[in-house]
Amino acid sequence: MSIPNWWGDWRPGLTPHTGNLQSTDLIECTQIVGGQPVNTAITGQQIIDAASGGSSNPSTIGNGYGLGVNGLANTISATVLIPANSIATTNTIYIKAFIDRTNVSGAGSTTFRFYINTTNSLTGATFLGSAGIMSTSVRFQRFERNIYVDLTNMNCFNTGTSSPTDYTTSAISLIPLNKTVDNYLIFTVQHSSSATDIAAWKRITVQKYA
């Protein structure tokens, strides 16, 4: 008696996932809402959390490993995807990063900015703030931000303040956020005068607190 190929019978044309599930894997899903199909996405971390008996708090949304950037243009070093519907009202987005600056000539400074956009591009991106500006012999920086999400906005540390951390008092900046679409956090590097300097958002972790 032969055993039916249930996967082939039920899901023709789809290739099953192979290898270990990674927290950064993105899985497209469709559910029926009001009789209509609605597409959404979940991360591997969300599946891991569910399989282990519930969501951890905080849970990891994604990680970024930045490329070294030289030249004088404001250039993307790293991006992290926030999948559609993965952030809810009253969640807090926590960003932690390590920044390094190498091949420093000693002239000028380097600015590290971050943005949000619905595409992985600086075109049309919304500025969220800057890390500490690095100059002379400064080679390393630890960066942190906590962003509270209300019904329609991201409640951010003052976007006009350059700082490695938001663990201090500040004015507030309200940035509109559509939680039902994919959003990209985009991290850039710009050198002021030395095109031979190299810097990167070396490692970025984005988490959420429920």
135, part of any domain: yes
Average pLDDT over residues 95-112: 88
136, part of any domain: yes
User: What is the number of other CB atoms lying within 10 angstroms of the CB of residue 82?
Assistant: 21
152, part of any domain: yes
Domain containing 131: what range?
Answer: 60-209
Average pLDDT over residues 103-107: 73
Nearest Cα residue to 83 out of 102, 99, 62? 62
Assess whether pLDDT exceeds 50 at residue 14: yes
d(Cα 141, Cα 202) in Å, to the nearest integer? 10
Q: Which residues contact 94 (CB under 8 A, 6 or more apart)?
A: 58, 144, 145, 146, 147, 206, 207, 208, 209
Compute, in degrees rounded to 10, the torsion defined by CA atoms 26, 164, 210, 51: 40
Please say whether the beta carbons of 70 and 25 come within 8 A.
Answer: no
CATH number of the domain bearing residue 123: 2.60.120
65, part of any domain: yes
At 33 the pLDDT is: 61
H helices, E strands: number in the chain: 2, 13
The model's pLDDT over 33-92, given as tens digits with 9 standing for 90+, comes to: 666 676 667 777 777 666 655 567 889 999 999 999 999 999 999 999 999 999 999 999
State the Cα angle at 121 between 61 and 177, rounded to 5°.
Answer: 55
Strands 126-130 and 140-149: unpaired
Q: Which residues contact 19 (CB under 8 A, 6 or more apart)?
A: none
Q: Half-sphere exposure of 92 toward its Cβ, with a 13 Å CA cutoff?
A: 11
14, part of any domain: no
At 8 the pLDDT is: 43
d(Cα 12, Cα 79) in Å, to the nearest integer? 33
State the Cα angle at 42 between 36 and 47, rounded to 5°.
Answer: 125
The model's pLDDT over 144-164, given as tens digits with 9 standing for 90+, comes to: 999 999 999 999 999 999 999
Domain count, the chain: 1
67, part of any domain: yes
